[in-house]
Structure 1
């Protein structure tokens, strides 16, 4: 869990720096930085998605995950958490409420979906090697500065998502080390890559996608990959 704790701390520290710089970064620079980061996130997602060795596994994983996610209404749950935080921190400022919720949900998705979060947590759980999560911590800290400067304090609360999500994967990796084959890791990473592309689209405000409802696609793809005949 050491790597995950450092990662969560990096998000909080980066958010603090972002808040300090909030008044000193004009809106036009903030928007351009966010657009640039959005494009970079999209490229990272494409690189991850193209690593798949069996696109059928990824497609099936997304289909199953979408059904599960809609049934559980994960997106609605995350938004309710964001609204609750907004009520506590923003008073009657409707614009502030919306921004805090958006910061929490967007940052949670960006930090929790991806090869580094999944593979890094698995490596930490299996071998105790935290090198991948340390590298991710540096990246997330930088992203937190940019996100917080434009979306506010809600980004800092995504550190809880990082703790829960990566901590759970780390613990599960220790219990299920025997089933986490190279094929399983490859396909769940590729599935996460497709969702990362969706995060980029969401950040660019091209289309409103309920990405949180697709989160179950990652474990679904892992299960399908495990039972898929080689």
Structure 2
């Protein structure tokens, strides 16, 4: 089921928000310990994905070129600007804490590399491990957010399901049009590139100096282009 990971992610947010509304006291120490534990698990997941690549030079070139494009376009900065704009607009419209919780949680759960990589992984190869790991992160985060901001956090599950589900379904259509030999290589190299980015997300969760993961997102597209060129001319 292509949407399994996305649906679990949405349910985790709803469940976490419900717990957060009921549970008002959540210590900072507990939050830090659990987030770092999940960060370690994310790093391990990233390593297992990164090892699936077959052509390491393609992975390096994809990350390097993707990083150049991402920094030139300032993707991370633009995503943050979109998030800030949404937050200002929603606060102006309602001014309530419910809207604040909804916007803050939606930005956290949707604007990030893990949502894109996980949804692509679900669509391309029906592997939901990234989204299931993200579900743990989002579920725990929604507990904290809902405890502070209320029930509005629960409604952020809807844009998450729509966003990730759309990407996963689009990936399944791509699978139908690309030759199988090319598709296998595309999947392995995208998985490897995505795995390295997942490692970066895990390191960010562990508090290691921040890596601008969103600026590496073009590497996923670059990897597809390089694989197609490689398959056409060198295989």
With normalisation by structure 1, the TM-score equals 0.75
Residue in 1 aligned with 2:225?
223
Equivalent runs, 1:1-230 vs 2, <5 Å: 2-3=3-4, 6-7=7-8, 9-17=10-18, 19-20=20-21, 23-87=24-88, 88-89=90-91, 100=104, 104-105=107-108, 108-109=111-112, 111-114=114-117, 116-123=118-125, 132-133=127-128, 139-150=133-144, 157=156, 160=159, 163-175=162-174, 177=176, 178-179=178-179, 181-228=183-230, 229-230=234-235
Change (3 A) 1:110 1:39: farther
Q: Aligned with 2:112: secondary structure?
A: helix
TM-fit CA distance, 1:22: 5.4
1:46 touches 1:194 (CA, 8 Å); kept in 2?
yes
Aligned residues: 217
- More displaced 10-residue stretch of structure 1: 30-39 or 72-81: 72-81
- Deviation of 1:9 (Å): 2.8
Is the CA contact (8 Å cut-off) linking 2:190 and 2:220 kept in structure 1?
Answer: yes
Alpha-carbon distance change, 209 to 139 in structure 1, aligned in 2, over 3 angstroms: closer
Deviations along 1:103-143, whole A, 9 cap, x unmatched? 834764364254x432312257xxxxxxx45x766544432
Structure 2 unaligned blocks of 5 or more = none
Report the CA distance between 1:50 and its aligned residue. Answer: 1.2
Q: For the residues of structure 1 that align with 2:205 and 2:110, how far apart are their CA atoms?
A: 10
CA RMSD of aligned residues (A): 3.5
Using the alignment, how far apart are the partners of 2:115 and 2:5 within structure 1?
11
State the 1:4 CA deviation: 7.0
Structure-2 separation of matches of 1:44 and 1:223: 25
Q: Corresponding residue for 1:129?
A: none
Normalising by structure 2, we get a TM-score of: 0.74
Shift of 1:195: 0.3
* Alignment CA distance shift 1:175-1:117 (3 Å): closer
Q: Provide structure 1 residue ranges, at least 5 long, that are not aligned to the other structure.
A: 125-131
Cα distance change of structure 1 residues 201 and 136 upon mapping to structure 2, 3 Å threshold: closer
